[in-house]
Amino acid sequence: MSTPLTTDVTNYVSPTLLRSEIDNRIVKIRPSSTPLDQISRMAGARQSGSMKVEYYSVDIKPATATVQTSLIAKSYPEGDCFKVTVKENSAFSPSDTLFFPTVTNSAGEQLICYVAETNGREISLTPINIDINDEGEYAVPTIAADTTIVRMGRAAGELDVQTAQFVTLPKKDDNLCQIFKAQIEESLLQRLSDKEVGWTFSDQEEVAILDMRMCMERSFLFGRKKTITVAGKPVMLTGGIWHQAKKDFKYSPDSLTDKDLIAMMRRAFSDSNGSTRKILLAGSGLIERLNTLDHTRVISGNQRVTKWGVDFDHLVSKFGSLYVARCEVFDLCGMDDYGMVIDPEYITKYSHIPFSAERISFHKQGVRNTEAVVLTEASCLVLRYPAAHMRIIPQR
């Protein structure tokens, strides 16, 4: 509100209380309204010495690669390698063994090869299960573009001491802490209400904190990282985790079936990233569609659990478990059919200014006959393993 509230500032609120145990206190205010902020607070925040947070994220080395240029069937002399170019740089290393699921030899077996040498995206391969003919040659079948190649175990010789180095470098990224504020201002002359919540916050303060958390929730989810200048001073805006995730799942909202749900869970838990228990935050449209599905023995969805202070519906499949909760942010942003799967193990909150309260006496300053409590936090959320999280996008 733009005008002060005409109730006295409660004597129970103090900066010391807020600074020392704020996360344990704040999370008691309607946790289901702000599930993302709730989870990040319950997990604890890392202290940041700067408003700009720099962090490293890394995924495991990819298990597959795809062929870039087709290789026409051809014969090669025994002992010579044939070469294949893949789209992904540094996907394979010398001594890797490779499996071609869709390429077969003359006996109908899937092709298996040994990586003899690599040169960027070009790999030299020795076939394992192709026979040598009477002319001392072996015939490589056609390998089409976009063929999937699966990386298997390395093969070393008896006298080999070393092998090609395993290299996977973390990628450096950054986010900006945003300064969130809320102000509760009350008259010193009268009290409108003596009602208090269970842990001594007044009703007006509770509403202000709830509104602050809900606005933070929207920024943590959909915010765009940028520094702008306002009245000659820099203002930092935090980037939301929606833009940090690396995976998408698209579905048809008008024809969502059990098979789509199974495919969604497969996609969420695939690529060997993250844990087997993740959280689905969804708009009311997606929640409605999920509730209309008839869950079978493949997916069980009759359980209701409470974790991090939030009530979830528990979906269990052979791929993993999803804790499903409605997120009001999607509805408010006109994205009620959207959702996001997050891995709570790999979401980190950085805090430059922990949630704190400062008492300001406008009465002593001669401004007006009121006192105020200003709530402040400077923080941001980051995804440490972007491929462990997934956006769910309707496609019409």
Q: Is the pLDDT of residue 297 over 70?
A: no
Query: How high is the pLDDT of residue 26?
Result: 55
Angstrom distance (rounded) from CA 172 to CA 174: 7
What percent of the chain lies above the pLDDT cut of 90? 17
DSSP calls for 15-56: HHHHHHHHHHHHTTS-GGGSHHHHHHHHH-EEE-SSSEEEEE
Give the position of tokens 């063994």.
97
Contacts of residue 201, defined as CB under 8 A and 6 or more positions apart, other chains included, come to: 10, 12, 13, 25, 29, 209
Does position 360 have pLDDT exceeding 70, yes or no?
yes
Residue-level pLDDT at 203: 62
Contacts 24+ apart (CB under 8 A), 105-112: 105/129, 105/130, 105/131, 105/141, 106/130, 106/131, 106/139, 106/141, 111/141, 112/152
Which of helix, strand or coil describes residue 166? coil
Task: At 305, list the tokens.
Answer: 């659990």
Percent of the chain at pLDDT > 70 equals: 74
Reported as a single tens digit per residue, the pLDDT across 182-239 is: 877 665 543 444 444 443 446 667 777 778 888 888 889 898 888 888 888 888 899 8
Is there a contact between 215 and 237 (Cβ–Cβ < 8 Å)? no
Segment 316-342 shows an average pLDDT of 90
72-86, 95-109, 176-190, 224-238: least confident range: 176-190
Considering the entire predicted model, what is its pTM? 0.65
11 pLDDT tier (thresholds 50, 70, 90): very low
Asked whether residue 258 carries a pLDDT value surpassing 90, the answer given is no
Cα dihedral 383, 384, 386, 387 sign = negative
Give the H or E element holding residue 261: helix 258-269
Q: Is 289 helix (H, G, I), strand (E, B) or coil?
A: helix
End-to-end CA distance of the chain: 40
Q: Cα 182–216–233 angle (5° rounding)?
A: 65
pLDDT score recorded for residue 15:
39
> Which of the two residues, 21 and 114, has the higher pLDDT score?
114
Bridge-partner residues for 235, per DSSP? Answer: 228
Question: 18-54: b or e for each residue (b if 16 or more CB lie within 10 Å)?
Answer: beeebbebbbebebebbbbbbbbbbeebeebeebbbe
Look at residue 339 in the predicted model and tell me its pLDDT.
Answer: 95
Q: Rounded to the nearest 5 degrees, what angle is found at the Cα of 380, between the Cα atoms of 212 and 374?
A: 35
CB atoms < 10 A from the CB of 193, how many? 11
Cα 237–Cα 241–Cα 243 angle in degrees, nearest 5: 85
Residue 82 predicted with pLDDT over 90: yes
Please give the backbone phi and psi of residue 369, each rounded to the nearest 5 degrees, phi first: -85, 60
Q: Which one, of 302, 294, 297, lies nearest residue 257 by Cα? A: 294
pLDDT of residue 6: 38
Say what the pLDDT of residue 377 is.
85
Mean pLDDT calculated for residue range 279-304: 79
Mean pLDDT of 45-74: 76
Residue 29 backbone zone (phi > 0: left; psi -120 to 50: alpha; other: beta) = beta
* pLDDT classification of 393: cutoffs 50, 70, 90: very high
